[in-house]
Structure 1
């Protein structure tokens, strides 16, 4: 318990510099922990910090609410929250937005743990694993804010951290991980860092590298189309092939990857944030945040799917959802999109709180919806063994994304990516296949396969569609919204940070 208390204290002073922060070196020195204990504990912390991706108030909503997939309508007094959810969908956030500030703390907390592990003389394998986490959190921060406070190995916690800019941070994240890649374990367990996990991250970083390089001198992000270098795209293909040669295969049932026992029955999960019924996690939020009060389980009646997403599916695509053993027979819920009249496990119609039929509609009002408005989504199924502490592991990387990244990279090099796309669609049981797939096809296929998984903002930015109008956001928005503002509290504690243009 002592080690985790120390790490909690140190993470609080993540990348600021205060009088207390200057005492942090001494605090850690006096902790009584060996360097090995610190390394071990900080690797645990870096992994545990991934649970913040399961929370609807941190980075997940920053990657989903401003896109063509998700929104959080206000329902009378419910879900108003000072307009925070509307601001995300309308691209009207500012540097004091609570979701942006919360995500900043979570991401940099993970980065601190990785750097502190590297600072305490890890062995080669531990160094490689800590470096993976460092690259992962640098990549995430670069994607969201275009700036990354970074402490050089060996520097004092009392010094102000330097700041990596968007164009250099991605190179550092890639180069440091490639330098230690050979020292990573060779296993394939989804709850630990290994070569397959690192290869997936490297593919994703190379795929997005051109986006971060396309930045004006003052830090303003460019909108594209981006200059994707063939050498980078070949790296994507190579790293994807490394993963595709591993012991993974696409699920026979798409929704098995999100079931309460997903990593036990799963065959395509490469990396996940582990949960169980004893220690919990935040994954219950994924069904509570969308389900109506009178569903089973009763939810918070919040987030909805956009018709922009739903209309990309045809009726023959199993990924749109349907009955699932252990779900539909227990509660009446279906997987995927919930639209129209809702039923209980016996087939009886469910009513809303006013006694009217509970029928979810495609339409909703961002500012003033009644409680039945908006389609709901069940991606992660409720764990009826423990609804508040579900055992579903949260998927970070899975094989389907690897097929899609390879297809995109092949297309950007001028090739025909129908092969990997059709492997995926055939495995999913989709009737139609591609001949001569386009980039637009790939973006839509990423939506159909990866919806509500936390990648959509990144994908839309890369395909230059992020600023376009969508349902309940009728206007195009300025390119400064491609990255988020640096939180006001972070600017006040680190003079090396500067506010992003437009904020």
Structure 2
């Protein structure tokens, strides 16, 4: 990688074309390169690559790992001493000991850099386009460049500014970076279409307002990333309120009565979602969120007896206990966001035969003994009537038939805490009904922004600006009361920043918001399961050593972040 970054930025947009596409009035943007293209096909081919690497960025081992496993929500031990060891990178990530050679950090960086490059290529190519959509597509490409830079700022503390493909990017940080991203999003906002026109898989007006609110909410952190305190300026909080109001008043999104439908296989049309990674199976989606946490002996699909989980991360006891503390003597499954029961075996032990069409894995936070389709020699057992035989699961695939698939609260890096069955698991996203392996053909769009976050960001801004507890409480309780498919969570009687932080954990667990939330609320240097490091310089990740080596012929251009 001994090349100038200017060259990398110029050519990376021409490389690694994927099959991912996006949706415009049920028409996909196709990045296939063929001869004799029409003008419309040409501009589609320029814009589609700006979205195409989003599925790679949002894979379970890239952005998700950095945003969740580094926090008190998720932990991934060395399972059974044989699985998910990966040279200790997940242990280091959780304990805040990540290094600049970590492959997940490197892969995340590469997806961001390549995506920024593709946006630059699209913007340049669209300058000469005669399509009536050229202005809209240019705005989308420019807005996506701002979004990728916003993620880059959040993770690595830097932003790349580049308009001319033939020049070297300028690197900016702090307040300058915040102002640049804000100006770019504001510049494209008037041109973008409403979500109702382009769908959640493409940058739309409500998505830009959501990103502007998120940017200003975190601006105090970005301006002073290593600060002992953060200055949440009134003008920043006013902007958060302004842009969240825009989203809410636009009517472009609606809170979902069914919480888990937001993460279901049909969520592309869920009204709560504002912006998402389009993962529909016909677009070769590979959402792996559903397979990552559950057991390798959980087989969620009657049609595919090889589609299973991988015994990846569980939630920490610390995070689970936040639910227990909130509900006291009442089991936290009382909250419809915590758990959704789909197998009646949990409430009716005699019901051990299940029709294929009715067989669905439970959702949310999974605890204790798990039940499911029983498999012998690669085939599901059947009842005399042909239905699936459902029973208590054990770790047959791990050659540990003596070990029940019974998830425990205990999970840590000890031998006992690293066993296959340790840790409560998360099945928030629905397992794709079209995935014959669990690792392909994902259906559920991965949420980037949704309306509940809009309300809770507004609540936080009200608290931080003027201690408007009444206004903040109203927003929080509005979201809680909206989950009416089952019994909604009880209304809160009061709200503080600490309670709001807890509420964000309940609402957004496993959604890649935990790390910035912990930093913003002053929790990231705290202690939790297997994590004692309190170094503020671990708030952002190291720039990959390969990137620094690649820029070595530009002395002083790309400097490693402090503390690495």
TM-score, length of structure 2 as denominator length: 0.79
User: The residue matched to 2:221 in structure 1 has which SS?
Assistant: helix
Q: Any residues of structure 2 matched to 1:56-205 within 5 Å, and which?
A: 56-75=60-79, 76-120=81-125, 121=127, 123-151=134-162, 153-156=163-166, 159-188=167-196, 189-205=199-215
Match of 1:16 in 2: 5
Q: Distance in 1 between matches of 2:45 and 2:260?
A: 34
User: For residue 487 of structure 1, what is the aligned residue in structure 2?
Assistant: 544
Aligned to 1:239: 243
The offset of 1:466, in angstroms, is: 0.8
Partner of 1:295: 298
1:21–1:455 Cα change, 3 Å? closer
**C-alpha spacing 1:374/1:14, structure 2 compared with 1 (3 Å):** farther
User: Are 1:54 and 1:282, in contact at CA under 8 Å, matched by a contact in 2?
Assistant: no
- Residues 408 and 439 in structure 1, CA contact (< 8 A), matched pair in contact too: yes
Q: Is 1:450 aligned to 2:499, yes or no?
A: no
Matched, 1:396 2:448: yes
For residues 15 and 323 of structure 1, do their structure 2 counterparts lie closer, same or farther at Cα, with a shift above 3 Å needed?
A: farther
CA contact (8 A) 1:204 1:236 kept: yes
| Cα gap change, 1:327 to 1:489, in 2 (>3 Å) | farther
Secondary structure, aligned partner of 2:286: coil
Q: Which residue of 1 aligns with 2:434?
A: 385
The answer (yes or no) to whether the contact 1:69–1:456 under 8 Å persists in 2 is yes
* Residue aligned with 1:163, SS: strand
Measured in 1, the distance between the counterparts of 2:519 and 2:345 equals: 35
Per the alignment, do residues 242 and 485 of structure 1 end up closer, same or farther by CA in structure 2, a change over 3 Å counting?
Answer: same
Pick the aligned partner of 1:351 from 372, 376, 394: 394
Pair 1:23–1:420, CA change in 2 (3 A) = closer
Matched with 1:465 is 523
Deviations 1:410-464 (Å, cap 9, x if unpaired)? 1111212101001011112444323341111111111000000111001111111
Query: What TM-score does the superposition give when structure 1 sets the normalisation length?
Result: 0.88
The whole-number CA distance in structure 1 between the counterparts of 2:428 and 2:40 is 39
SS at match of 1:242: helix
Residues 218-275 of structure 1, C-alpha deviation per residue, up to 9 Å, x if partnerless?
Answer: xxx2242x111111111111111111121322111100011111123x2201111112
Could you say which structure has the larger radius of gyration?
Answer: 2
Q: Among 314, 321, 340, which residue is 1:311 paired with? A: 321
Secondary structure, aligned partner of 1:235: helix
User: Aligned in 2, Cα 1:322/1:401: closer, same or farther, shift over 3 Å?
Assistant: same
Change (3 A) 1:39 1:147: farther
* Partner-residue secondary structure (3-state), 2:448: strand
Question: What are the superposed Cα offsets for residues 110-138 of structure 1, whole Å, 9 maximum, x if unpaired?
Answer: 11111222223164322221121011011
Residue 59 (structure 1) shift: 1.6
- Structure 1 CA distance for aligned equivalents of residues 428 and 14 of structure 2: 46
Alpha-carbon displacement from aligned partner over 1:38-96 (angstroms, at most 9, x marks no partner): 65334211112211243122122111111010011102111111001101001001111
Q: Which residue of 1 aligns with 2:271?
A: 267
Counterparts in 2 of 1:89 and 1:35: CA distance versus 1, 3 Å = farther
Match of 1:52 in 2: 56
| Aligned partner of residue 99 in structure 1, secondary structure | helix
Q: Does the Cα contact within 8 Å between 1:40 and 1:117 map onto a contact in 2? A: no
Q: Which residue of 2 is the match for residue 6 of structure 1?
A: none
Shift of 1:327: 12
Distance 1:375 1:67 in 2: 16
Change (3 A) 1:458 1:434: same
Secondary structure class of the residue paired with 1:491:
helix
Query: What's the offset of the Cα at 1:406?
Result: 0.6
Tell me, which stretches of 5 or more residues in structure 2 are unaligned? 16-34, 301-307, 347-353, 374-388
Counterpart of 1:384 in 2: which secondary structure?
coil
**Alpha carbons of 1:142 and 1:14: their partners in 2 closer, same or farther (altered >3 Å)?**
farther
The residue matched to 2:78 in structure 1 has which SS? coil
Specify whether residues 73 and 260 from structure 1 end up closer, same or farther in structure 2 by C-alpha distance, changes over 3 A only.
Answer: same
Whole-angstrom CA distance in 1 between matches of 2:4 and 2:474: 45
Paired position in structure 2 for 1:339: 367
Q: CA deviation at 1:194?
A: 1.5
Aligned to 1:251: 256
Match of 1:323 in 2: 341
Answer with 370-379 or 311-320: which moved more: 311-320
Q: Contact 2:412–2:529 (CA<8 Å) still a contact in 1?
A: no
Q: How far 1:17 sits from its partner (Å)?
A: 4.8
Structure-to-structure mapping, 1:353-368, within 5 angstroms: 353=396, 354-356=400-402, 357-368=404-415
Cα contact 1:14–1:112 (8 A) shared by 2? no
Please state how far the C-alpha of 1:498 moved relative to its aligned partner. Answer: 0.5
Residue 326 of structure 1, CA deviation: 12
**Do the aligned partners of residues 463 and 171 (structure 1) sit closer, same or farther apart at CA in structure 2, a change above 3 Å counting?**
same
**What is the SS of the residue equivalent to 1:289?**
helix
Q: For 1:121-176, what per-residue CA distance to the aligned partner results, in whole angstroms no more than 9, with x for missing partners?
A: 1643222211210110111000000112332x2251xx432212233212100012
SS of equivalent residue, structure 2 residue 482: helix
Distance 2:89 2:507 in 1: 28
The structure-2 alpha-carbon separation of the partners of 1:380 and 1:431, relative to structure 1 and needing over 3 Å to count, comes to: closer
